[in-house]
Chain A
């Protein structure tokens, strides 16, 4: 009797152990399933995230390519295109008195100082945007004179900046700097593409109507021109300018004040400020 009781107890203990083992195994299976489900969910989320990142990158690349165009051409390839640019520039500044970096009647009652970098695309926006109207309305009528001054912003290499600015000033020695500046902006190349080479400057100078190239080449070595670039930079620093285009406007011979037009494509703010100065 006692022997069979012992057997029953052993069977019970065995049953309990088997039950516990089954529960343990079930719990382990559940944990494993949960871990697998969590892993699958995480993988699914990462996959979705990866797809979104890929789509965003693709869209941005398309936008970059689509907006990358525009003013990228540099010197026109064909003679016809070159002539067309020269015609446009001549229509803008031809017939207006020039003296060094000054455009317009030297005795004009109002002076606008234009601080620019020849490689700066926003300067190009101004030169091709608001400036033509100012030339037509105020400069041709002898009421406004514009002085082009240099401030390095867009040009990455200081040496390149100095070289291109001296090239412009050398054209100014023959009172043709504004042709050079206008041509540079009209044919401005892609930024940071290194398009401003000696060949580029030579071709640009070759487009300036009536420029004596031998004289221009000799004038580029004049130390006074390099000093003039440095002097412009100093003037810009004194005025607190760090970006281009920046402007100073005022009565000729008087104190020029910083002028912020708020737009570079519309002449209206310039017109209002010039009219005010003429009336005062």
Chain B
């Protein structure tokens, strides 16, 4: 998951650079639809570049993955990746049904965040390595308040 997030960080970082520098993004598709998507009105949300929103999102996901693993950290990762997936779904909708362009960079980020979401949900529902019986009376809320630490986070 850390590796995936790092790749996503690179993609969002590159698109943020492209946005602010005005450079033409590298694109293998003819007519450079990536550039058309990046320059469209949907490349910003309330004046904030969506690439920057993505970059901040990946930084937060990475932070939650590097935090001491526990119920709270796993929940944070899940919440962030779900938010990222929702935002990516919105952007993909805009690409396909509003702009009728597809940007390779955006697609790669959408795939990364989808994988991260699936993995984080699985990780969150699975819980930690210790069975719940280790503290039989504990509930989810208890665990959230007293998040156990089982060592460093890993992907």
Q: What is the bound-complex CA distance between A280 and B85, given in angstroms?
A: 50
Which of B41, B42, B87, B127 is in CB contact (< 8 Å) with A60?
B87
Which of A34, A67, A122 is in CB contact (< 8 Å) with B136?
A34
Contacts of B24 in A (CB 8 A): 260, 262
Contacts of B45 in A (CB 8 A): 63, 67
B49 interfacial by beta-carbon distance below 8 Å: no
| Main DSSP-derived SS at the A contact region | helix
| Main DSSP-derived SS at the B contact region | helix
Q: What is the bound-complex CA distance between A265 and B137, given in angstroms?
A: 62
A243 and B79 form a contact (CB under 8 A): no
B136 and A45 form a contact (CB under 8 A): no
Which of A46, A56, A122, A264 is in CB contact (< 8 Å) with B83?
A56
Q: What is the bound-complex CA distance between A45 and B75, given in angstroms?
A: 9
The number of chain A residues with a CB under 8 A from chain B is 45
**A-B pairs with beta carbons under 8 A, tally:** 121
Chain B nearest CB, measured from A72 CB (Å): 11
Q: What is the bound-complex CA distance between A260 and B24, given in angstroms?
A: 9
Chain A nearest CB, measured from B148 CB (Å): 12
B47 interfacial by beta-carbon distance below 8 Å: no
**Beta-carbon contacts under 8 Å, B114-135 to A:** 121, 124-125, 127, 131-133, 135
How many B residues are at the interface, by size bracket?
A: 35 or more
Which of A42, A46, A64 is in CB contact (< 8 Å) with B90?
A64
A241 and B30 form a contact (CB under 8 A): yes
B39 and A260 form a contact (CB under 8 A): no
**Beta-carbon contacts under 8 Å, A104-163 to B:** 120-122, 125, 153-154
Residues of B within 8 A of A (CB): 22-24, 29-33, 35-36, 39-42, 45, 75, 78-79, 82-83, 85-87, 89-90, 93-94, 97-101, 121, 124-125, 127, 131-133, 135-141, 143
